A and B are shown apart, each in its own frame.
Chain A
Amino acid sequence: ILNVEQSPQSLHVQEGDSTNFTCSFPSSNFYALHWYRWETAKSPEALFVMTLNGDEKKKGRISATLNTKEGYSYLYIKGSQPEDSATYLCALLRRSQGNLIFGKGTKLSVKP
């Protein structure tokens, strides 16, 4: 069974703290890694799609890096704000397969 692992499961930080989470995945047949942000009572929204080893993507205070050789990606949030509170999901797309394999997510809570 193919597993995409995310850690930690949950994280509680204070407003202004910077934080990061990890997504680990099997590196064989890698095609792309997706990151999604999922707020309570809403649908997941795409943050980044990363395809190349060494890729770095940035969107405002959120950035992500990718290492396809060792099979991990980091998501960083700089200066967390309460509106960053959400579950962050990563998902793996492998070559010759059309389906995304999701991790269980990291739930971030940012206290004012």
Chain B
Amino acid sequence: EAQVTQNPRYLITVTGKKLTVTCSQNMNHEYMSWYRQDPGLGLRQIYYSMNVEVTDKGDVPEGYKVSRKEKRNFPLILESPSPNQTSLYFCASRDSNYVGQYFGPGTRLTVT
């Protein structure tokens, strides 16, 4: 089954404690992306990657890091989380034919 998986689905953590949210897709898609969703602000892109070892900043990259060492994986790293990073995070992937983006199930992160 074609899918994008994210882990964990829910996470409560404390300020400053480094964390990683994993994202994996099984469709051999070149393009992967991370978004955060906040009430009233819609989906905002954090980082995206057009292929292995190619990443670029989206609209709200501050406080986040990503890497793309393999085509299937695109982890999101919060080196020192802060409460303003409390949000719902989505990973997504698509292929180069622009047939629509597949979204993961979301990760709800709370930073206290």
Please tell me the number of chain A residues within 8 Å of chain B, measured between CB atoms: 23
Q: How far is it, in angstroms, between the C-alpha of A6 and the C-alpha of B33 when the chains are bound?
A: 22
A36, A47, A49, A99 — most chain B CB neighbours (10 Å): A99
Q: List residues of chain A with CB within 8 A of the CB of B90.
A: 43-44
Q: Which of B1-52 contact A (CB under 8 A)?
A: 31, 33, 35, 40-45, 48, 50
Asked if B104 is an interface residue, CB under 8 A from chain A, the answer is: yes
Q: Which of B44-103 contact A (CB under 8 A)?
A: 44-45, 48, 50, 56, 58, 90, 98-103
Place the interface of chain B in its size category: 20 to 34
Contact among A34, A45, A51, A105 for B42, CB-based, below 8 A: A105
A-B contact count (CB 8 A): 54
Q: List residues of chain A with CB within 8 A of the CB of B101.
A: 34, 36, 44, 46, 91, 100
In the complex, the chain A residue whose C-beta lies closest to that of B43 is A102
Nearest CB in chain A: distance from B15 CB, A: 27
Nearest CB in chain A: distance from B101 CB, A: 6
Asked if A93 is an interface residue, CB under 8 A from chain B, the answer is: yes
**14 A-B Cβ contacts within 8 A?**
A32-B98, A36-B101, A43-B90, A44-B103, A46-B99, A46-B100, A49-B100, A93-B98, A98-B56, A99-B45, A99-B48, A99-B58, A102-B44, A103-B42
Q: Which residues of B contact A (CB under 8 A)?
A: 31, 33, 35, 40-45, 48, 50, 56, 58, 90, 98-106
Q: Which residues of A contact B (CB under 8 A)?
A: 31-32, 34, 36, 43-49, 51, 89, 91, 93, 98-105
